[in-house]
Every structure is written in structure tokens, then in C-alpha cells.
Chains A and B, each alone.
Chain A
């Protein structure tokens, strides 16, 4: 793909590379942002409400107010991300003018367009997008996403959907690497993704951008699980500031993400934690309550 040669693309993916192995935390205030930075977060996501509250309170969830994002940008030295509604390129233009470091075109907010995502190549700020499978991931990359994250089921405190999405993406990638050229054409048709990207993935055995995990991570062991399943970093949304002990839990999840392959250290990180956020059994959710089905 020609866009992958451009310098703009290289510095977008370059920032995603710098976040690998780290934890990106949802924060709704300056105080939370400082706690996240102190705990070792490699970036923060500035929000008005965490997904668990969006789920509970309902209504239309939009981009956070520039005021709170600006305050958080001034308070911490690590990169600051913010979310826009799917397809809402004008919100993205506002965030670019605000100079946030990364934009998340997110299913957690109420979609603004039921057919189209943002054409992300129009922006100089890098984008991250959620995906449940390889086809969705490759469509987002074709549109210009410089980082992919699993959607999971945000605000659920339940890791099962993130695991499902991560396994789907990695096993579909593995399958592509075994196919003959002519079979890749058929695979591209099935995945509803551009053939050139399908060929790239088949040749390299990975996505052309970093692949992170999000949606339901609530404990140090959750983080270690998705990292061992091939995630390159984790996003923690409601899991930290909806728990009984945000600062301690933030530190513990950072530690478990770094040492995901060392169960003794994940054990250490898991000890002396208070109560995790209360989770939701995904099967109890109605179809219309699912956030992961938003996005096309």
C-alpha cells in the first residue's frame, strides 16, 4: 500500500510503537490523569464519562468537552488521547486543532454515521480504532488507522469479548499465512478488506500497525492474559477508576503488563488489591446494549 511509505504514516505508527508494552488509562479529571501518570501509564484517554457510566446513564455519548481535555493535556507529560464518535470527522477536526496526540474513533460513544467511518488519512493526528475481527481491522487500517485495538465489551469488566476478538484476529492472521496467492483473493472477498492489505498480512504474519487490547480489562491477570494472547499493549477503561483502589490497581495492572510472562510477578501485582469493578455477564445484555456491534 502506497500510504505506508509516507512520512506522515511512519510518525503515526511510530507513536503507536512507543506505546507498546504499556497501559493506556481512561481518565475523567486532572486528578485521575495525575494518578495514572504516577502509576506508570504510557498514555491517558481523556473522557467525560468512563464506559461503565455511559452504559448506566445512557443518553448520547459525545466527544469530551475541549476544556477537560485541555486541562488534562496541561497536567501530564505523557501522550493524551481522546475519543470521537464513529464517522464524526468534525469532532476529529476539533481534536486535531486542540493538538491531542491520538484520536480514538470509538464505539463507546454514540455513532454519528451508520455507514462510514472517518477517512483518517485526511488527518495528521494518528487514529486508533476498535475491531472484532481481521476484516474490520483491515478496513480501519485502509481508512488510515495507525493502531488497532480489540473492541471487547467496554464498561463490562468482563474480559470474554476482548479474548474472543483477539483470538479471532490472531487466528485469521495465521490462516492467511498458509494460503496460496489465488486463495488470498477469495480471503479478501470474505474479509471484505483490500487485497493489498490481505497480501501484506499474509506475507508478514501480523497487522501493519500495532495491535492493542481493550474492553473489559479489570485485573492484573486480565492484562497478562491478553498480552499472552498477542496484544501489544492494553487499554483500561472503567477497570481502574471504578475499582475500590484506583491508584494501587493502576500500578498493579502496569506491573502485570510489563511482566505478563512471569506469573510470580503477576501474583505479586494481584495481591493486596481491593475489590475489582463489578462485572456484567455479557449474556445478560440485550443486543441493543452491546457497544461492540457499533462500527461497520
Chain B
């Protein structure tokens, strides 16, 4: 199975290390041609405004939407989750609109509010360690969206069909649970 990672900017290498640990060879995606033959695509953390501008300029927005429509699985962390959401606030900005979510950018505050927390997850019995960096908040989840993890009573890891979105950074921990769940989703469609 081929898994791509959008490599505009941000922590794409941390995702690559996770995939390598799980026996999957990652492919960095910077052009439309890089998407061909992929089963899944990861949108990493970084600055969502920078990523969005890149997707528009490189003409990657519509090909990624088509990739999702054709059954490709997507996983966004932090900035990636912002790009996947249907609606983005603070400030409002364009997005791919592939998950039925409303996301508020930098909703905890500036870097001083960045923190490591723990929260319950449906992926396993023990809580997940969650690294939040200038993180967004998921303000609304659509009817078909499954909440897979919460922190302080808020949804922080959600699934809408074949799209997985996390407001924290599982790639910055040693725990492969979330990436394993994504690879399973990419393989089985659920």
C-alpha cells in the first residue's frame, strides 16, 4: 500500500518516521503527479495558511478532492485537520471540505497555551497522549462523524467515512495507535 504525505512545510518527516516504523514506505507529495497510485494521503501539521496557498497554487486542491471521491483515505493532523474541515473560523478560510466539521483555528490561544494532555479514546482502553501545538478546536461535528477521542470533553480525533482528523499531533509521540488506525482505515475502508 502506498501512502503519501503532503510535504509543503511542517512536520511531514515526523509522519514519515511513523509510517516507516509501521512498515509502510512514505512518499512525499509536492505535485499532482505525486498523487498517482496512492491509497492514502496524510496532511501534516504546520501552518494551514501556508499549506492552503500551496494547494491552490500547485493546483492540488481539486486532485485531492478527486482522490477522496475515488475512495482514497485521508488523515490530517492540526493544520491538516483544518484543511479537511467543511468550515474554518478565526479567521474564516477556504478548505478542502472533506470532513463534516467546523474547526476554529488557534482556539486555545497562542504558543503559551500549547500543552501535552491525555484523553480517552475508542481505539483502545488506555488514554492517548496528545501533543497540542497552537491547536484548533473542533466546534461542530456532522451527524455521520464518529468521535474517536476526546480531551477535556471536546472531540479531538474524529472520522468521517475515510477521512480521519486529529487536532493534536500523534506523530510527535512514540505511540503508533492513531497511525495504525489510519492504515487500517486505508486498507479496509473503515
Given contacts A7-B116, A101-B134, contact A42 B50 (CB under 8 A): yes
Any B CB within 8 A of the CB of A258? yes
The complex places the Cα of A20 from the Cα of B90 at a distance, in Å, of: 23
Please, what's the 1-or-0 string for A9-22, where 1 marks a CB less than 8 Å from any CB in chain B? Answer: 01100110111111
The 8 Å CB contact of A78, one of B10, B45, B47, B133, is B47
The complex places the Cα of A102 from the Cα of B134 at a distance, in Å, of: 12
The complex places the Cα of A62 from the Cα of B132 at a distance, in Å, of: 32
Q: Which of these binds chain A: B105-113, B144-152, B153-161?
A: B105-113
**CB-defined contacts of B79 to chain A, threshold 8 Å:** 18
**CB-defined contacts of B25 to chain A, threshold 8 Å:** none
Q: Which of these binds chain A: B11-19, B68-76, B94-102, B177-185?
A: B11-19
Any A CB within 8 A of the CB of B53? yes
A14 touches B50 (CB 8 A): no
Any A CB within 8 A of the CB of B20? no
Tally of chain A residues near chain B (CB < 8 A): 35
The complex places the Cα of A7 from the Cα of B50 at a distance, in Å, of: 27
Any A CB within 8 A of the CB of B114? yes
Any A CB within 8 A of the CB of B121? no
B133 touches A21 (CB 8 A): no
- Rounded to whole Å, the gap between the CB of A250 and the closest CB of chain B is 11
Any A CB within 8 A of the CB of B7? yes
**CB-defined contacts of B9 to chain A, threshold 8 Å:** 19-22, 42, 233, 258
A79 touches B134 (CB 8 A): yes
Any A CB within 8 A of the CB of B86? no
Any B CB within 8 A of the CB of A63? no
Any B CB within 8 A of the CB of A49? no
**CB-defined contacts of B10 to chain A, threshold 8 Å:** 17-22, 42
**CB-defined contacts of B127 to chain A, threshold 8 Å:** none
A11 touches B116 (CB 8 A): yes
B110 touches A10 (CB 8 A): no
Any A CB within 8 A of the CB of B66? no
Closest-by-CB residue of B relative to A124 is B112
B133 touches A18 (CB 8 A): yes
The complex places the Cα of A42 from the Cα of B78 at a distance, in Å, of: 14
The complex places the Cα of A124 from the Cα of B110 at a distance, in Å, of: 12
The 8 Å CB contact of A21, one of B12, B109, B112, B132, is B12
B115 touches A21 (CB 8 A): no
Any A CB within 8 A of the CB of B46? yes
**CB-defined contacts of A21 to chain B, threshold 8 Å:** 7-10, 12, 46
**CB-defined contacts of B169 to chain A, threshold 8 Å:** 14
A20 touches B116 (CB 8 A): no
Closest-by-CB residue of A relative to B10 is A18
- Rounded to whole Å, the gap between the CB of A21 and the closest CB of chain B is 4
B45 touches A11 (CB 8 A): no
**CB-defined contacts of B131 to chain A, threshold 8 Å:** 10-11, 14
The 8 Å CB contact of A77, one of B54, B106, B172, is B106
Please, what's the 1-or-0 string for A73-86, where 1 marks a CB less than 8 Å from any CB in chain B? Answer: 10001110000000
Please, what's the 1-or-0 string for B130-142, where 1 marks a CB less than 8 Å from any CB in chain A? Answer: 0111100000000
B47 touches A22 (CB 8 A): yes
**CB-defined contacts of A254 to chain B, threshold 8 Å:** 50
**CB-defined contacts of B109 to chain A, threshold 8 Å:** 99
Any B CB within 8 A of the CB of A139? no
A18 touches B45 (CB 8 A): yes
**CB-defined contacts of B47 to chain A, threshold 8 Å:** 18-19, 22, 42-43, 78-79
**CB-defined contacts of B116 to chain A, threshold 8 Å:** 7, 10-11
Residues of chain A at the chain B interface (Cβ within 8 Å): 7, 10-11, 14-15, 17-22, 37-38, 40-43, 73, 77-79, 96, 99-102, 124-126, 233, 254-255, 258-259, 262
A-B contact pairs, 26 of them (CB 8 A): A10-B131, A14-B114, A14-B131, A14-B172, A15-B133, A15-B134, A17-B11, A17-B172, A18-B10, A18-B78, A18-B79, A18-B134, A19-B46, A22-B46, A22-B47, A37-B49, A41-B50, A42-B46, A43-B47, A77-B90, A77-B105, A78-B47, A79-B110, A99-B110, A102-B111, A258-B8
With A22-B9, A77-B106 known, 9 other A-B pairs at CB within 8 A are A11-B114, A15-B114, A17-B45, A18-B134, A20-B10, A20-B46, A40-B54, A78-B49, A262-B30
User: Which 9 A-B pairs rank lowest in CB-CB distance, beginning with the nearest?
Assistant: A101-B111, A21-B9, A7-B116, A22-B9, A11-B114, A17-B11, A42-B47, A14-B133, A40-B53
